[in-house]
Structure 1
Amino acid sequence: MVASVRKIFFRWICGSYFKIERFNTVIILQTYKIIIMGLSSNILWHQTKKKGLEDILKSRTFKFSYSQEKVPVADYEIAFPMISFCDLPFSEFANYMGKYGGYSIGLSHNWGKKNHFNPVWYCYANSIVESNLFSILRNANPVQEQYVLKLAEIIAYVKPVEGELNVKGHKYSNYRFMDEREVRLVPPFQYLKNENFQYMLSKKEYIEYKKQHNEMSLLPIGIKFEWNDIKYIVVQNEANIVEFKNLLHKLGCTNENISIFYQQQIKEDFIGIEHDQEQNRNFVPVDIENIIV
């Protein structure tokens, strides 16, 4: 009798783990799949206030708005027009959720790519990349207007890795913007100029613009979407779910696969946080014999 020979080989091929066993002439192949959690998702999230979400759904449009950001190398603030999303999976969404308005709408990643959205370019303050970009812009020949506009468009996608953030009455001295994984779209500056829109506002101009537009920074131009592009809607509380379902029905929404969740539901059921609530101290024990039928 020929002795059995057993050989075990482990190979790492294309992210899978293979175990090969040989018993005489029989070869058994078992596959162990290695699952690696990604840092992004197939959803782009846009956060806004309740009225903002209602207006987005009613118009099926994301409007550009001036967003003011500090420029570290120049130590002043500039407002560029943009539409911003974040690329975060549910597991990372809790820290971001509610920070910029309390209501969120999630669209497909493909919609963002189709409409030329792009991840922002995170730079450390006074880094060589950031310093060189602003140096080129400052020294550009004003006569070469088209060149200057294109360069300014690129700079509009630059964002600090970290910095000061004031939002909803909270002040963060060293907020890590990079953790938001922002994806944004800036309209072509030549188009804005042709349509008599300002492509860049100083801090003073930004404040004045908001005064003239009821404290809003929106522009009357934006990017359209279809009902089927929407994947998720996140609202503040459970009562809002029925409210927004009724709104979608009233607007003639044809996408029955939109999932609507409220914030605490995501934290407790999906992420697994904030579900350990303190027991009610007024709890009255129930007589089990009186409820058995």
Structure 2
Amino acid sequence: MAISPNSILHFTKRRASLEKILEGFFTTHYCKEVFELNEAKYKLGIPMISFCDIPISNITSHTDKYGNYGIGLKKEWAELNRINPVLYMEKESSIAKLIEPLIREVIVNDKYGSFRTSLIEERNGDIVTIKPINDKDRELKINAVIGQLSFIKNYKGVLKRKGKPDILDYKFYDEREWRYVPVASEISDGHKYYDSIMSEAEYDIWRGERLSKKKNIEGTELRFESKDIDYIFVKKESEIPTIIKAIRKSKNIYKNNEELDLLISKVLSLERIKNDF
């Protein structure tokens, strides 16, 4: 059996969320990530869509934590959409010690007060001129650090789950995560400003204290078609007819009855997987 499957998988806790995905696209939202690198600790909001790279025979421990409804898509589709495996990092490793000073320089010790600062004041007597910062070295460092943080995950840490006890020393490495992170220059015009990274305080404001679910980031949809799908997962065998009805209604992802029939054949229940794999 191959260690790495030919599909990447995305799971969610609600069947309604899977039905929404089956309209032909994923939506991006911010996730709070905790980075422990060397002696430093950062909590930041990272925009992403997460997938896992786990053989179907091993997915039940993953679905127990992240939901029993999901979809598997071909890795060729992932590659075309620049979805990438994350870099798992032990917090005391040599690479953590090497990159953390650069992260601290950009995130904490920016010479203009904040790495978000793009305009500065120049004074000539009583005349104040506001001008853009033209510092290519600084811009390269900021982009490099944001790129690193967007695809870094600690090897292990605390897994927090809503309504359930935290899991201490959880091995995130076992998830074999892949991520889609939007590129700011490619986001659809006409949508509100996109933050490529958020502080913890900014994330908490964005999430909102009373929101029951995370808000989507407009203009960052990740689209797919029936040919890109390898699997569709539901929790129980009894839910298969319901999800088939949802697939039939979703005419954005299939072009004809042949594609529809093939798509329906890809529906699996976790009940069957637990019994047969």
Residue pairs, 1:264-279, within 5 angstroms: 264-270=271-277
| Shift, 1:44, TM fit | 0.6
CA shift in 2, pair 1:190/1:247, >3 Å = closer
Deviation track 1:214-256 (CA, whole Å, cap 9, x = no partner) reads 5314212221111111111111112221111011111233342
Residue pairs, 1:244-263, within 5 angstroms: 244-252=243-251, 253=254, 254-258=259-263, 259-263=266-270
CA shift in 2, pair 1:248/1:190, >3 Å = closer
Residue pairs, 1:52-71, within 5 angstroms: 52-58=17-23, 60-71=24-35
Aligned residues: 232
SS at match of 2:4: coil
1:78 pairs with 2:78: no
- Asked if 1 retains the 8 angstrom alpha-carbon contact of 2:74 and 2:230, the reply is yes
Distance in 1, matches of 2:159 and 2:100, equals: 22
Distance in 2, matches of 1:250 and 1:121, equals: 38
Structure 1 residue ranges, 4+ long, deviating more than 3 angstroms after superposition: 140-143, 189-192, 212-215
SS at match of 1:72: strand
Deviation track 1:14-38 (CA, whole Å, cap 9, x = no partner) reads xxxxxxxxxxxxxxxxxxxxxxx32
1:152 pairs with 2:146: yes
Residue matched to 2:4? 40
Percentage of pairs with the same residue: 30
Distance in 1, matches of 2:204 and 2:17, equals: 20
| Shift, 1:47, TM fit | 0.8
Aligned match for 2:99, one of 127, 130, 133:
133
Amino acid aligned to 1:223: L
CA shift in 2, pair 1:170/1:238, >3 Å = farther
1:179 pairs with 2:143: no
CA shift in 2, pair 1:190/1:135, >3 Å = farther
- Asked if 2 retains the 8 angstrom alpha-carbon contact of 1:104 and 1:233, the reply is yes
Aligned match for 1:219, one of 210, 217, 220:
217
Superposition CA RMSD, Å: 2.1
Distance in 1, matches of 2:85 and 2:159, equals: 20
Amino acid aligned to 1:147: K
- When Rg is computed on C-alpha atoms for both structures, the one with the higher figure is 1
Give unpaired runs (5+ residues) of structure 1. Answer: 1-36, 271-293
- Asked if 2 retains the 8 angstrom alpha-carbon contact of 1:42 and 1:108, the reply is yes
> Taking structure 2 as the reference length, what is the TM-score of the superposition?
0.77
Amino acid aligned to 1:180: E
CA shift in 2, pair 1:133/1:66, >3 Å = same
| Shift, 1:196, TM fit | 1.6
> Taking structure 1 as the reference length, what is the TM-score of the superposition?
0.73
- Give the structure with the higher percent helix: 2
- Asked if 1 retains the 8 angstrom alpha-carbon contact of 2:248 and 2:260, the reply is no
